Amino acid sequence: MGTAAITKPPALPSDVDLAIVGAGVAGLAAAKTARARGLSVALLEAQSRIGGRAFTDTLDPGNGRAPLPWDRGCHWLHQARENPFTEIADALGFGYRTESRASHIWLGDRWADDADLADRRAAGERAEAAVAAAAEAGRDVAMADVIPDLGRWSGVHRQFLRAVTGEDPAANSTLDDQRYTETGDNWPVEAGFGALVAAWAADVEAITETPVQRIDRRGRDLRLETPRGTLRARAAVLTPSTDVLLSGGLRLDPPMPTELADALAGVPLGAANKVAFAFDRDVFGLEHAMAVHQPDAPRGCNFQIRPFRRDMAIAHSGGPLARQLEQAGPAEMIAFARAQLSEMFGADVHRYLRASATTAWGRDPWIGGGYSVCRPGRAGDRARLLRPVEARIWLAGEACSLTAFGTVGGAHDSGVAAARHAAARLTAARD
Ligand SMILES: Cc1cc2nc3c(=O)[nH]c(=O)nc-3n(C[C@H](O)[C@H](O)[C@H](O)COP(=O)(O)OP(=O)(O)OC[C@H]3O[C@@H](n4cnc5c(N)ncnc54)[C@H](O)[C@@H]3O)c2cc1C
């Protein structure tokens, strides 16, 4: 059972100033901002829960112990010192961990020692410097085209990039990558980032189970059509993911301008999934660690081991592997991650395995994947998403952030910005 708020759908109003489509972080932030500015708002969410890709679930570890929380989507406060959710976590009493985690790399017959790990770090720095140099020179090309041969760390680094960006570096823009502000502060939320988002959003009324199918923009007001009726609005903020918008999960009539559709195609979603395992005791002898199987990389998972000393392992996959496993189904995902754990920690660990769960973000029709990734040559596309349609429809969401894309912080700030633009416009029109 999840901890995100599940709400009974309230009635659909007939007429509002601002309609906000999607009650993920961007939509929730937009709703809070617009309401604080005195606008009447309808926040429409297709699913029965709010939060979108922010969703804390639980696994039962057996032995009568309390269920263990784990995040199906976001987990780390990226750019943590500047992330709005760090302050929100402090205000709401949610703990997070600021110490860096230990990295373990299985070399096939032994764990990497300090010299190996220093070598791995140096290889990562060489790759990063090459991407930075290309971006500095204004080269908007595939990251894979500029990263040098990293020898025995090539696979591990490629796997790392796939997990972090949700895509293979062959399909990922150097220039866009370097616009992301990497601060090195990535702090996990103890009770779950999804639970934090749900607590922050407890005061926001969302009209759940109400997918917006079409927005008729031919008249003076927008008409948002849902299976529960039609809503009129003066303006709208649309927060569905780029893939949902690209696949027609929400249609505009007349269709969205071709420049906007083209910009969406430049930043589609990558793939990111997890397999969570709960054990009835400590089978790892580690805590707060990441473990990687070097011989299998880049076709393997990155494992979180015993986060917050919980007897869990959480396998992260990104890019091609995440897509392939998701297509193969939950049983295959679990078997694949179990096999990697067995090789690293011994098959015995599974004697104490009590529960497992998988995500399938790509199959979720209202999400469609992991997080947005910019194609080589398309580094201008995020900025193009920010141009409103007819000065009354704004896009928002993680893909619309220029420096924190793919994150909750970026989604939040883009929702706030879109609502401010809409409020300024609506207020000016009234005066
Ligand atoms: C596996 C995974 C791990 C991640 N890890 C991290 C992390 O550690 N840290 C971090 O900061 N970020 C992480 N992220 C990314 C982060 O979760 C997202 O960037 C963020 O939650 C996106 O918020 P959003 O509001 O832009 O979009 P969404 O969360 O996708 O919200 C959009 C909402 O719109 C709704 N919707 C779609 N279509 C319609 C429609 N037609 N009508 C009505 N509603 C509709 C959807 O149901 C959804 O609720 C992770 C994501 C994944 C998948």
Could you read off the pLDDT of 135-180 as tens digits, one per residue?
999 999 999 999 999 999 999 999 999 999 999 999 999 999 999 9
Ligand 1, residues at Cβ distance < 6 Å: 21-27, 44-47, 52-54, 73-76, 78, 211-212, 239-241, 244, 249-250, 272, 274, 361, 366-367, 370-371, 397-398, 406-409, 411
* End-to-end Cα separation, the chain, in angstroms: 48
Alpha helices in 110-192 (DSSP H): 114-136, 143-146, 154-165, 174-179
Q: What whole-number percentage of the chain has pLDDT above 90?
A: 95
pLDDT at 263 over 50: yes
Rg of the Cα trace of the chain? 22
7, 72, 74: which to mutate for ligand 1, most atoms within 8 A of CB? Answer: 74
pLDDT at position 175: 98
Q: Identify whether the C-beta of residue 420 lies closer than 8 Å to the C-beta of residue 238.
A: no
pLDDT at 1 over 60: no
pLDDT at position 8: 66
pLDDT at 198 over 90: yes
Using the mean position of ligand 1's atoms as its centre, give its distance from the Cα of residue 173 in Å: 21
Token pair in block for residue 384:
């193009």
| Ligand 1 atom at minimum distance from 370 CA | 53
12, 45, 53, 317: which to mutate for ligand 1, most atoms within 8 A of CB? Answer: 53
265-275 average pLDDT score? 98
- Say how far apart CA 33 and CA 413 lie, in whole Å: 10
Between residues 96 and 2, the one the model is more confident about: 96
Identify which of 208, 194, 273 has the alpha carbon closest to the alpha carbon of residue 3: 194
CA distances from 47 to 50, 52, 134, 398 (A): 7, 8, 42, 19
Closest residue to atom 1 of ligand 1, CA basis: 73
Q: Which residues contact 118 (CB under 8 A, 6 or more apart)?
A: none
Between residues 287 and 240, the one the model is more confident about: 240
pLDDT in tens, 416-425: 999 999 999 9
Token look-up 């220029």 returns 402
Using the mean position of ligand 1's atoms as its centre, give its distance from the Cα of residue 24 in Å: 6
Using the mean position of ligand 1's atoms as its centre, give its distance from the Cα of residue 365 in Å: 12
Using the mean position of ligand 1's atoms as its centre, give its distance from the Cα of residue 209 in Å: 16
184-204 average pLDDT score? 97
Using the mean position of ligand 1's atoms as its centre, give its distance from the Cα of residue 409 in Å: 11
Q: Which helix (H) or strand (E) element contains residue 76?
A: strand 76-77
Establish whether the linkage from the previous residue to 388 is cis, with ω within 30° of 0. no
pLDDT at position 85: 98
Closest residue to atom 34 of ligand 1, CA basis: 22
Using the mean position of ligand 1's atoms as its centre, give its distance from the Cα of residue 21 in Å: 13
pLDDT at position 430: 77
At 397, the pLDDT band (50, 70, 90 cuts) reads very high
Which domains are present in the chain?
15-53+193-268+371-430 (3.50.50.60)
